[in-house]
A and B are shown apart, each in its own frame.
Chain A
Amino acid sequence: SQQGEEDPQALSIQEGENATMNCSYKTSINNLQWYRQNSGRGLVHLILIRSNEREKHSGRLRVTLDTSKKSSSLLITASRAADTASYFCATDGVQGAQKLVFGQGTRLTINP
């Protein structure tokens, strides 16, 4: 069954603006991960946040996790055209620590 669900499904912003994507999930997790997928390509791991962490940064990425609300957000600051991609959250802990359940993704378009 679907675990992570992203919101919005699609987001279009101007270059230089910040982009925020949200993910909700249904059951307890060990960690939550965010991935990026460029059109027609494989997924690339961006960041992992553990269930006992509330916020994590990596370059222009900021991820928050609220386990009480079963939600996470991914913030991309100072967006660039190269950030245009689909972004997926993935959770584990439901059926075994190594299996991930992916949401359907947010399609982000950065307009020059």
Chain B
Amino acid sequence: DVKVTQSSRYLVKRTGEKVFLECVQDMDHENMFWYRQDPGLGLRLIYFSYDVKMKEKGDIPEGYSVSREKKERFSLILESASTNQTSMYLCASSWPGPQYFGPGTRLLVL
């Protein structure tokens, strides 16, 4: 079975802090994705990567950056956390085909 893990289930940070969210997949998938999920807005794509060191902006990249130094790991970085980045963050990977999701990180920025 494909396994996608995220570094934290719950995270509380202060405004202005730099935040790292880590995602690791164990199936040698080419593609990895970061989404945020908010009530009434559904899932929105922040960034995705189709290869090591390659990245493309999604629909809402502002305030975020990403890093993919190894195939299995895709990191989402909030350079200076703000309260409007309080959300559920979901990581996913795919070969291509179906996407496999991690359990999510619920981030609260105070």
77-98 of chain B: CB within 8 A of chain A: 88, 90, 92, 94, 96-98
Q: Who on chain B is nearest to A96 by CB?
A: B56
Which of B14-22, B40-48, B68-76 lies at the interface with chain A? Answer: B40-48
Residues of B within 8 A of A102 (CB): 35, 42-43
Query: Contact at B42–A45, with CB atoms within 8 Å?
Result: no
A41 an interface residue at 8 Å Cβ cutoff? yes
The secondary structure that dominates the B interface is strand
Given the complex of chains A and B, what is the CA–CA distance between A88 and B94 in angstroms? 17
| Given the contacts A99-B45, A99-B48, A102-B43, A42 and B102 also touching, CB distance less than 8 Å | yes
Query: Contact at B104–A104, with CB atoms within 8 Å?
Result: no
Query: Contact at B42–A88, with CB atoms within 8 Å?
Result: yes
Residues of A within 8 A of B31 (CB): 98
89-111 of chain A: CB within 8 A of chain B: 90, 97-105
The list of the 8 closest CB pairs from A to B, nearest first, reads A42-B101, A45-B98, A104-B42, A102-B43, A43-B101, A42-B103, A98-B31, A98-B96
Chain A residues within CB distance 8 Å of chain B: 2, 33, 35, 40-45, 48, 88, 90, 97-105
